[in-house]
Structure 1
Amino acid sequence: MSTSPAWDPAREIAVDPASPEPLYFQVARQLHAAIDDGRLPAGSRLANELDLAASLRLSRPTVRQAIQSLVNQGLLVRKRGVGTQVVRTKVARPLRLSSLYDDLTGLGGTPETAVLCNRVEDADAETAALLEAPALARARRLKRIRSTDGEPLAVMNNYLPDGLLDPSDEDLRENGLYQLLRAAGVRLHSAQQSIGARLASAEDAELLCEEPGAPLLTMQRTTYDETGRVVEYGWHVYRASRYSFNLSLTNS
């Protein structure tokens, strides 16, 4: 991929000193828009701070602050000997009854999966409670890393009642969990989901190629079939620098 800057900031960015919006924020907002709409694709290299400041007729600290704000959001990265480059934009996932595999495929991506755990275990009281099946004796435990374009996005953990699904590691690498459930005749109906955030542990950081203490999104989901039975409980962590959830609100 070429990293030659084809995007002309002097032509594309307009700042208004009379605006109540800080100058650095005006620059960052317009850079963000150019990344979102593809004018600055992944791998594009920005001019150095001095040249960018001169072309925009702004101070170097203003430009540095604008760039740093996008670095903090995970949209730009500084590389020694290369300069400042655009990284891939976040995967924005709508809140609906779908899997990450479904959403990545729908966005035109190529999901990749590393299977870390795929086994049936004795179900303790906590597992049985999560699956809302007090008499449950055995449960299938899954742990996978989901990636796209060679870059990890999430660590996904799931419990399923034993006997519901018997996937091979290859099945899990080639398909999403909901695809496998549907193929097995499970009719998904609804889910309860909660979203939160935490800092990356050492294990998270290693699996997701982040620094320890980096912000992560968390999600817990209980999924029901049309009979009201729990068919899976999932608890996942996502890279906040590469991932977001979208929620539509209506005035009913």
Structure 2
Amino acid sequence: MEPIAKLITIDRNSPVPLYFQFAQQLQQLIESGVLPPGTRLSNEIALADQFGLSRPTMRQAMQHLVDKGLLARKRGVGTQVVTNRIRRQVELSSLYDDLERDGRHPRTKVLSVTTRPADAEVAAALRIGEGVDVLTVERVRFADDQPIALLRNHLPAGLVDLTADALAETGLYQLLRRSGVDLSSAQQAIGARRATATEARLLEESRGATLLTMTRTAYDDAGSPVEYGAHVYRASRYSFEMTVAAR
């Protein structure tokens, strides 16, 4: 790999702030894989001198990437590139399958598998009466041993037999398909909010950190709802992508 000084150029005539020029180019090097996870960077003083920037400017640039989850400061080690943010196409697919396909070593911690009465939101999504029993599954999904998502799924009771052991081994949609459930379509909404104390603890984020949210109702080939999910994702490690076409 070429020295970082040959890969980043600072344009002092540009209206773009110097710290952002540096941070943006360093982010591109990380996300393109030129600087893979584990790469150690020089300290801020050395980098500031190398690029002719002030130390506060370099500190601001590095903090910008720390806040985005691309760099991590470790005592006794210095600043390192961490695992690239996961980008997921907005489509009817399992997060587990997407991670496995991209070589991100998915792992699941099952928090609970319980039967409970459906609240109004879940009942409306699954087209059942409020208070009717549903199977509720809560899991933390990891990628490369980093927690990235807290998943809550609700299914009509009796639709499929799910165990914690099976859910720890593979994705929910794989288990549904193995049980003969044909997933055909889904309606979903994406948003963002602050993490609760419990969510922050499970996802190893600071309290009040920004999380991405996704709610999804999946339907079988007969148009019947078979699953309602309400998930949160670490915005510092995860993003959604979609393709749009002009009309």
Query: TM-score scaled to structure 2, two decimals?
Result: 0.94
Pick aligned residue for 2:66 from 64, 68, 71? 71
Contact 1:195–1:220 at 8 Å: present in 2 too? yes
**Compared CA separation, residues 135 and 23, structure 1 to 2 (3 A):** closer
5+ long unaligned stretches in structure 2 = none
Structure 2 residue 119 is the aligned partner of structure 1 residue 143:
no
Name 1:18's counterpart in structure 2. 13
Q: Structure 1 CA distance, aligned partners of 2:137 and 2:243?
A: 30
Contact 2:119–2:130 at 8 Å: present in 1 too? no
Name 1:164's counterpart in structure 2. 159
Q: Structure 1 CA distance, aligned partners of 2:126 and 2:70?
A: 38
Structure 2 residue 128 is the aligned partner of structure 1 residue 133:
yes
Name 1:175's counterpart in structure 2. 170
String of CA shifts for 1:60-102, please: whole Å, max 9, x gaps: 2221221111112111122223221111111111100001111
Contact 1:7–1:40 at 8 Å: present in 2 too? no
Structure 2 residue 230 is the aligned partner of structure 1 residue 242:
no
Q: Structure 2 CA distance, aligned partners of 1:48 and 1:238?
A: 31
Name 1:208's counterpart in structure 2. 203
Name 2:79's counterpart in structure 1. 84
User: Which range moved further: 195-204 or 52-61?
Assistant: 52-61
5+ long unaligned stretches in structure 1 = 1-5
Q: Structure 2 CA distance, aligned partners of 1:76 and 1:228?
A: 44
Query: TM-score scaled to structure 1, two decimals?
Result: 0.93
After TM superposition, list the pairs within 5 Å mapping 1:220-239 onto structure 2. Answer: 220-239=215-234
**Compared CA separation, residues 194 and 185, structure 1 to 2 (3 A):** same
Q: Structure 1 CA distance, aligned partners of 2:43 and 2:243?
A: 39
Matched position secondary structure for 1:222: strand
What one-letter code is carried by the residue in structure 2 that aligns with 1:72? D
Q: What's the CA shift for 1:128?
A: 2.5
Q: What's the CA shift for 1:135?
A: 8.2
Contact 1:46–1:85 at 8 Å: present in 2 too? yes
Pick aligned residue for 1:105 from 97, 100, 104? 100
Q: Structure 1 CA distance, aligned partners of 2:58 and 2:132?
A: 60
Q: Structure 2 CA distance, aligned partners of 1:47 and 1:148?
A: 27
Q: Structure 2 CA distance, aligned partners of 1:57 and 1:31?
A: 16
Name 1:3's counterpart in structure 2. none
**Compared CA separation, residues 248 and 25, structure 1 to 2 (3 A):** same
Matched position secondary structure for 2:40: coil
Pick aligned residue for 2:194 from 199, 220, 223? 199
Contact 1:156–1:237 at 8 Å: present in 2 too? yes
User: Which range moved further: 193-202 or 121-130?
Assistant: 121-130
What one-letter code is carried by the residue in structure 2 that aligns with 1:61? P
Contact 1:154–1:208 at 8 Å: present in 2 too? yes
Q: Structure 2 CA distance, aligned partners of 1:188 and 1:203?
A: 31
**Compared CA separation, residues 53 and 191, structure 1 to 2 (3 A):** same
User: Which range moved further: 160-169 or 116-125?
Assistant: 116-125
What one-letter code is carried by the residue in structure 2 that aligns with 1:187? D
Matched position secondary structure for 2:150: strand
Q: Structure 1 CA distance, aligned partners of 2:47 and 2:130?
A: 65
Matched position secondary structure for 1:248: coil
Q: Structure 2 CA distance, aligned partners of 1:34 and 1:22?
A: 19
What one-letter code is carried by the residue in structure 1 that aligns with 2:195? A
Q: Structure 1 CA distance, aligned partners of 2:129 and 2:104?
A: 39
Q: Structure 2 CA distance, aligned partners of 1:53 and 1:136?
A: 61
